[in-house]
């Protein structure tokens, strides 16, 4: 059976999150022949790295039936409404209440506590902040490791997961 992985980016651009996801996706595609990956976007701005997988406008996401990943709170809110996806993961890359301008606490609390989303932290410090700020205990997947995030383990078990740093 093919594993389908989709990620929603507000913009495919020159950002750290797009780069980290793309590199992790390339490693996953090199290792597994049964994986399909697509990046969904609201806008596209000259990506600086060639993707070895498809991209589609966010409107195509509404019929996606694999694992959907979001990396920011607004995208997480958006994927939570996609009823066709088998799994919805909010991979917390940034602590958005610390950004400028910060998102309102009430909005963030609603996203982080949404029962349709599996919240996963990118580091121990992010997990600690989410635990203290929103009373959740997210598992940890470092380095946007898609193999751990999507293939190796179901992160909803609330156990911490660590990548091999080799």
pLDDT digits (tens, 9 = 90+) for 94-120: 898 887 788 899 999 999 999 999 999
How is the chain split into domains, by residue range?
3-157
Output the pTM of the full model. 0.89
| pLDDT, averaged across the chain | 88
Q: Which region among 6-20, 87-101, 152-166 has the lowest average model confidence (pLDDT)?
A: 152-166
Side-chain-side CA neighbours of residue 97 (13 Å): 14
Given pLDDT bands bounded at 50, 70 and 90, which one contains residue 153? low
* Element of type H or E holding 130: helix 124-134
pLDDT digits (tens, 9 = 90+) for 52-96: 999 999 999 999 999 999 999 999 999 999 999 999 999 999 898
Opening angle at CA 135, ends 157 and 150, nearest 5 = 30
Provide the angle, in degrees to the nearest 10, between the axes of the packed helices 124-134 and 105-112. 110
Distance CA 71, CA 4 (A): 17
Distance CA 11, CA 55 (A): 11
Residue 39 clears pLDDT 70, i.e. is over it: yes
Contacts of 57 (CB under 8 A, 6+ apart): 40, 41, 42
Q: Are 51 and 36 in contact (CB under 8 A)?
A: no
* CATH number listed for the domain at residues 3-157: 3.40.50.2000
């Amino acid at each position: 059976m093919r594993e389908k992985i989709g990620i929603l980016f507000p913009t495919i651009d020159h950002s750290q999150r797009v780069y980290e996801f793309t590199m992790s996706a390339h490693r996953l595609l090199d290792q597994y022949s049964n994986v399909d990956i697509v990046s969904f976007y609201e806008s596209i701005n000259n990506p600086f790295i060639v993707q070895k997988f498809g991209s589609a406008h966010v409107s195509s996401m509404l019929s996606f039936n694999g694992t959907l990943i979001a990396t920011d709170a607004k995208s997480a809110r958006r994927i939570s409404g996609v009823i066709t996806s088998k799994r919805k993961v909010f991979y917390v890359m940034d602590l958005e209440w610390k950004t400028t301008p910060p998102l309102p606490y009430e909005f963030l609390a609603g996203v982080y506590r949404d029962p349709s989303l599996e919240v996963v932290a990118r580091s121990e410090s992010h997990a600690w902040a989410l635990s203290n700020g929103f009373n959740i205990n997210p598992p940890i997947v470092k380095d946007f490791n898609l193999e751990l995030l999507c293939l190796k383990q179901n992160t909803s078990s609330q156990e911490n997961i660590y990548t091999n740093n080799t």
